[in-house]
Amino acid sequence: MLLKQKYCTLPPFFDYFHFLKSQSSLSSLSRFANLSMADVENLNSVPASEDTEYGFKRPEMYSTNIANSITSYARHVFVLYKTPEAWLSHVEEEGLPQRFATLLKDRKSDLLVQTKLNVCEGGGSDGDVLIFPDMIRYKGVKDTDVEGFFEDVLVNGKPWSSGIQEEISGTFVFVCTHASRDKRCGVCGPVILERFKQEIGSRGLSDQITLKRCSHVGQHKYAGNLIIFCPDSAGKITGNWYGYVTPDDVPELLDQHIAKGEIIQRIWRGQMGLPGGEAEKVHEQKVIPNGHGVVKEESKGFTGGCCQGSNGVSCCQDETPKPEPIKKEVKKCTIWFQPLDKEELYIGAAVVGAIATIAMAFTFFKRSG
């Protein structure tokens, strides 16, 4: 227990690095951190020879507004399969991923919701399937199981009849490290991943955040690319995409987005479950302009007041203004489509009465004569 308390009070890894460097060799430090010499040297940087072409100093970095640069979809399926080093450029063209990809294409019209497929590192968990935002895991799906699994789970929205459905919790971060598909993701992704490991460890969040390498997510030019699935202030799972991410952005993603639910505009690509128009509204109204601040949650039928959401997220809103009363227009009586005042009405009545009197007198005179 004392050892654990002492470890929790240690400064971040790199501060500790400088402390140990004066007292031991670099190889001792490497053994302490359970990293290789190359990992220690490159934990937070890209070799200068690659940085300007493939790394974080590329001329294309921040050259494009990347907000809403993802297509609309409502469900994300991750198939655990081998490791990125073993993936083909198009990993969906072999084995288990290929079976899922083929069915998604052929039976797209049968799906109740738009579904996106990605592959993430498996290792000893090959064949497991993660489904977001459902937060469900199925273990050991085999090639021969895919059609039945697809029919039960993805088409009919029911638990898989041949497997056990497990609930998953916490935050999931998927970093694109698909080097065989594009070298930019292959160079940037691993560096971002290592920075996440460092920051998660220093914050004691290893049991709350699952970090995985994943296949191509689209738009290599936005590398580093990553997706974060975590609950918002209402407990609803959201999947937010980020691009142009650098190692320096990782602490903010942990402290702002994951801890507080605050979207960081400058590197935000979009959110799962939002159609194009809604995504535009989120970008214009809910996204944090400078990467700091609170995202206000929308509330339908809200008539005033304020509430405090979970994780420190406020959903205060101004009172909805009451509609102005509708003014009824009073129409005036008209003759020949022109309005008449009182005096004109009296004169008209007198003339009509006189004409009627003369007509009656003329009729009486004619009969008596």
Per-residue pLDDT band at 356 (split at 50, 70, 90) = low
Can you give the pLDDT at residue 10? 40
Let me know: does 309 contact 233? Beta carbons within 8 Å: yes
Per-residue pLDDT band at 308 (split at 50, 70, 90) = very low
- 28 or 41, which is more confident: 41
Can you give the pLDDT at residue 316? 37
- 296 or 214, which is more confident: 214
Residues paired with 228 in a beta bridge? 173, 240
Global pTM? Answer: 0.66
Q: Is pLDDT of 57 > 90?
A: yes
> Could you give the count of Cα atoms lying within 13 Å of 321 in the half-sphere of its Cβ?
3
Per-residue pLDDT band at 256 (split at 50, 70, 90) = very high
Domains defined along the chain, listed by start:
75-272 (3.40.30.10)
Q: Is pLDDT of 310 > 80?
A: no
HEC sequence for 274-318: CCHHHHHHHHHHHCECCCCCCCCCCCCCCCCCCCECHHHCECCCC
CA distance to 105, 153, 164, per residue, from 111 (Å): 10, 10, 22
Query: What's the Rg (C-alpha) of the chain?
Result: 34
The single-letter code of the amino acid at 201 is G
Asked which of 41-55, 68-82, 260-274, 331-345 is least confident by mean pLDDT, the reply is: 331-345
Q: For residue 159, what are its two tokens? A: 């638990």
> Could you give the count of Cα atoms lying within 13 Å of 89 in the half-sphere of its Cβ?
4
CA–CA gap between residue 311 and residue 232 (Å, rounded):
8
Let me know: does 291 contact 256? Beta carbons within 8 Å: yes
Helix 13-21 to helix 183-202 angle, to the nearest 10 degrees?
80
Q: Is pLDDT of 168 > 80?
A: yes
CA distance to 87, 98, 204, per residue, from 169 (Å): 27, 27, 17
- Mean pLDDT score, 322-348: 46
Can you give the pLDDT at residue 357? 63
CA–CA gap between residue 130 and residue 107 (Å, rounded):
20
The single-letter code of the amino acid at 274 is L
Can you give the pLDDT at residue 155? 96
User: Which of 3-12, 212-221, 355-364 is modeled with the greatest confidence?
Assistant: 212-221
The per-residue b/e assignment along 145-166, b for 16 or more CB within 10 angstroms, e otherwise, is bbeebbbbbbeeeeebeebeee
Q: Is pLDDT of 221 > 60?
A: yes
CA distance to 79, 330, 333, 339, 340, per residue, from 336 (Å): 80, 18, 10, 8, 10
CA–CA gap between residue 353 and residue 117 (Å, rounded):
90
Can you give the pLDDT at residue 290? 39
Q: What does the DSSP 8-state code read for residue 153?
A: I
pLDDT mean across residues, the chain: 76
Kindly report, residue by residue over 64-106, the tens digit of the pLDDT: 999 999 999 999 999 999 999 999 999 999 999 999 999 999 9
CA–CA gap between residue 318 and residue 298 (Å, rounded):
11
Kindly report, residue by residue over 317-332, the tens digit of the pLDDT: 333 444 444 444 444 4
